[in-house]
Structure 1
Amino acid sequence: MSLAETHVLMIATDGFEESELMKPRQALLDAGVKVTLASLKTDPIQGEVQGKPGATITPDITVEDVDSDDYDALVLPGGVGNPDKLRMDDTTVGLVQEFFDDGKTVAAICHAPWLLVEADVLDGKRATGWPSVRTDMENAGADVVDEEVVVDGNLITSRNPDDIPAFVDAIKQALTQALETADE
């Protein structure tokens, strides 16, 4: 089995934390995973590095054109503005719910759990995130802990850019497990 058989959707918009999109994306591509970046539009989106302008990247598709059946997992990078804008978009929130309800891996880092709160998928789940979003997560029913990566069923969460290696490893492990389960 090969991760080349898997397809991951990433969703981001302006204000994404550069390392939280670029590093997991590149690590997954290096592992052979097909990665598609969706956004609210297909114009280049602006990243940030600790609140200052960072790199831009051009999305492959709009969230409106995403068919969740085409993907094995959803990865949500953080940054303050990125998930704050995306949680106001019904299509994006609906996709998070759809991936989660279909039992597909949903991975969120840093401020991205705001999307999990909005999608109402945290109740009863063990999770982590950036300190300023943890109260929102608790209010949504999550058991919030301070660990570099937390896996609870099909949900993967991490706290910050320092956690990216563990975050990516958990995503790759979840994709591998999904492949093994599909082959049974």
Structure 2
Amino acid sequence: MMKCAIFCANGFEECEALLVTDLLRRANIQIDIVSMNQELEVISSHNVKIIADECFMDINFNEYDVLVLPGGQPGTTHLQENEKLQKVILNHHAMGKLLCAICAAPSILGFLGLLQNKKATCFPTFRDKCTGALLSDEKVVQDGNIITGKGLGAAIEFAACIINNIQDKETAETVLKQIQY
């Protein structure tokens, strides 16, 4: 079974993180919410407290097949500034594993040079931070092993694209029907 990690730093966009987590779990995909703090509690950009499944410092990232980066501020900035996470993302990419980022978070991939000549989308005010990307206004864009989403309004389609990659289109469509999408 493929294993996913979604990274939550203080100031993350709670709906993007939890909607993706919810839909992947409905598709019977293991996804761990990973706190970037030294404790499991993480506070979102709208002051919603969640309890993560794991702490970043306790994880063996070789066990994960998919990494997901939610947006939100200052959560995206906190993720980008974490040098250990940068190394995890770069290593994951080098192995050709799936990288997924939504809203402001594609800017992290741009910062790391992973969007060079890649089709991508992001929240409009972060377009200039997606260095090297061939930017699109589409809600969800996949180019190779990178999936990007435009923002919260695209979170359902973003999650469905991840499900389609991990399992198949039929599973993604079944989950969408279950939630009356």
- TM-score w.r.t. length of structure 2: 0.87
1:13-61 superposed Cα distances (whole Å, 9 cap, x missing partner)? 111111101111011111111111222222311113xxx32x2212222
* Amino acid across the alignment from 1:95: V
- Paired with 1:65 and 1:122, the residues of 2 have a C-alpha distance of 28
* Amino acid across the alignment from 1:28: L
- Paired with 1:119 and 1:12, the residues of 2 have a C-alpha distance of 19
* Amino acid across the alignment from 1:87: Q
Partner of 1:167: helix, strand, or coil? helix
Partner of 2:113: helix, strand, or coil? coil
Alignment equivalent of 1:44, drawn from 41, 44, 57: 41
Partner of 1:75: helix, strand, or coil? strand
Alignment equivalent of 1:157, drawn from 121, 131, 148: 148
Q: CA deviation at 1:84?
A: 0.5
- Find the counterpart in structure 2 of residue 175 from structure 1: 166
- Find the counterpart in structure 2 of residue 129 from structure 1: 122
- Paired with 2:41 and 2:107, the residues of 1 have a C-alpha distance of 23
Over the matched positions of the two proteins, sequence identity in percent amounts to 28
Spell out structure 1 runs of 4+ moving beyond 4 A. none
Partner of 1:16: helix, strand, or coil? coil
- Paired with 2:87 and 2:33, the residues of 1 have a C-alpha distance of 17
1:75 aligns with 2:71: no
- Find the counterpart in structure 2 of residue 115 from structure 1: 108
Alignment equivalent of 1:98, drawn from 74, 91, 95: 91
1:64 aligns with 2:64: no
Partner of 1:87: helix, strand, or coil? helix
Partner of 1:122: helix, strand, or coil? coil
Q: CA deviation at 1:72?
A: 1.3
Unaligned runs of 5+ in 2: 169-181
- Find the counterpart in structure 2 of residue 182 from structure 1: none
- Find the counterpart in structure 2 of residue 181 from structure 1: none
1:146-175 superposed Cα distances (whole Å, 9 cap, x missing partner)? 101000000000111111111011101111
Partner of 1:57: helix, strand, or coil? strand
- Paired with 1:105 and 1:128, the residues of 2 have a C-alpha distance of 16
- Paired with 1:165 and 1:120, the residues of 2 have a C-alpha distance of 27
Are 2:139 and 2:154, in contact at CA under 8 Å, matched by a contact in 1? yes
1:6 aligns with 2:2: yes
Unaligned runs of 5+ in 1: 178-184
Q: CA deviation at 1:136?
A: 1.3
